[in-house]
Structure formats: C-alpha cells, structure tokens
Amino acid sequence: MNSSSSASMQNELDPDRMPKHVAIIMDGNGRWAKKRLLNRINGHEKGAETVRTIVRTARKLDIAVLTLYAFSTENWQRPQPEVSGLMLLLRRFLEAERQTLVDNGIRLNTIGQTDRLPQAVRDKLAAVMTDTAANTRMVLNLALSYGARAEIVDMVRQMATAASQGTLDPASVTAETVAGHLYTRGMPDVDLLIRTSGEMRLSNFLLWQIAYSELCFTPTLWPDFGEAEFVRILKDYQSRDRRFGRVPSTGRP
Ligand code: IPE
Ligand code: IPE
Ligand code: MG
C-alpha cells in the first residue's frame, strides 16, 4: 500500500480505540469458486491472498492479536482431496509469509488440535513459530483443527487432573483460572469478531473468549474481502458503546 492511502486509513481510525484482539471466521471460499465455475480449492487459493492482505493491514493498524479461523475440527469431514488441498495451501502460505512475518515483528501462534495435522505441516508451523518467537508487534494466531468445545474439554481435563493430583484447589477456581487453561491463555479476550459470507453462526469458534465481543457479519465472501472493508468494520466498531452490562458511558447521568 502507498503512504497516502495508509495516512488516510490512519486518519479515519482512532488509534486509542483500536481493538486489541480481532478474530475472523474466514468463510465463503467455496461459494466464491462455485460462482465462477471453479474448483473449491481455487476459492481457498484466492482466500489465502486475502489472508496476506488482512495480516498486513492488521499489523499496520497496530492490532495486537489477529486470530484467523482457518480449519475447524468439523472440517476434517470434508472430502479428502479438499482437506489435502487445504493442507498444501497452508504449507505454501507459511513458506511464502515466513519472511514477511519476521520482517514485520509478527509472532506466529496456533490454537487447536494441531497434533492432528500432517507432519509436514506441523514441521513448517514449528519452523515459522521458532523464527518468529521473539517478535512482539503482533500475534498471528491461526486456528487450525480448532473447535471451541474440544478446547473446553481439554481445559476441564487439565483442571480435573490438577485437582485430583492436589495441585489445584477447586474452591479457588476463578474465570481467570479457566482462561489460563484455554489455548488462548495470556491473550486478551476477543474485542471484535467478524464472519464473512453472510452466515450468522459461530461454527464452534472461541465460545469462551467472545463473551463480550462486538460481532460483525458481512455478506462479502472471504476472497472478496479486503483492506477497505476491514477498515470500515473497524470504524463501525469504534462507534459502538461497549457497556459490559453497565449504563451508557455517554449521555444523561
Ligand atoms: C471457508 O470457506 C474456508 C474453510 C472452512 C476452510 P468454505 O470452504 O467454508 O466456503 P463455503 O462456505 O463453502 O462457501
Ligand atoms: C467455519 O466455516 C470454519 C472456518 C471458517 C475455518 P464452515 O464453513 O466450516 O462452517 P459451517 O459449516 O458453515 O458452519
Ligand atoms: Mg463455509
């Protein structure tokens, strides 16, 4: 992006009201391809280009954590060629983006049952995570083989084990204890959740972490999503009054 459009982007948005954590359900690749009589994998390829754009935009805007839902626990049930195609695309994405992540201070992290991913993908993920481990400007959190219910089950198992071993006192468990046993431990709660493609459901994404998130559903298919719409959504987010159950922060006393 050139510096003038970058400057106008910054003028439009209030840096003090930027969400710390943005999560996106990147949906609609298949329908994008179908509309063009293409293969679903072509839709995923185009979707990977949108990922590149949005990662760069989020970094430029100083968003601290960007969580992208790339593959759900349920997505394993898709036809085998589509699953393999997605795994190959993921490897290619990691190879192509490695240097950009390093150069831009972005740390790669994953959430989900990543032990279910093919070894070649796990190796690539581990290499890029090592290369970017010291980066502090932004966390790019890829949800891979992710399901919120599986995350909650894992959390309960860990805490129950600790309790049975006497290292966790059940009476002392708080919301913070629970958050500390989720895949997102140490990260702020999601401020803004975006889903593309017009579907109004969560599809097993981040159930605990979105308790007070602002929600945005756009009909745009993920391959057609871009910087301009992302900035518009952020601007709309900044105009919302997040009350967290309290009375309005502006207006009458
Ligand atoms: C989102 O696009 C990408 C993944 C779930 C991996 P879809 O593949 O779900 O696209 P639609 O919903 O069929 O259009
Ligand atoms: C959710 O999209 C998962 C990802 C975006 C990775 P899906 O396309 O799998 O969700 P459903 O089937 O429409 O609920
Ligand atoms: Mg879908």
Q: Is the CB of 185 under 6 A from ligand 2?
A: no
Domains of the chain from N-terminus onward: 15-147+189-238 (3.40.1180.10)
Q: Whose CA is nearest to atom 3 of ligand 2?
A: 72
| Ligand at shortest distance from the CA of 35 | 1
Nearest to 115 by CA among 106, 103, 125, 105: 125
Q: Which of 24, 26, 29, 87 to mutate to test the pocket of ligand 1 (most atoms within 8 A of CB)?
A: 29
Tens digits of pLDDT across the chain (253 residues): 444 555 566 678 999 999 999 999 999 999 999 999 999 999 999 999 999 999 999 999 999 999 999 999 999 999 999 999 999 999 999 999 999 999 999 999 999 999 999 999 999 999 999 999 999 999 999 999 999 999 999 999 999 999 999 999 999 999 999 999 999 999 999 999 999 999 999 999 999 999 999 999 999 999 999 999 999 999 999 999 999 999 987 655 5
Residue 92 annotated in ligand binding: no
**9 in helix, strand or coil?**
helix
Cα-based angle 72, 220, 33 (whole degrees, multiple of 5): 70
Q: Is the CB of 49 under 6 A from ligand 2?
A: no
**pTM for this model (two decimals):** 0.96
- CB 138 within 8 Å of CB 66: yes
Atom from ligand 2 closest to the CA of residue 71: 6
Atom from ligand 2 closest to the CA of residue 203: 14
**Residue 189 DSSP code:** P
- CB 159 within 8 Å of CB 218: no
Which active-site residues does the annotation give?
A: 27, 75
Residue 28 annotated in ligand binding: yes
Containing 28, the helix (H) or strand (E) segment is none
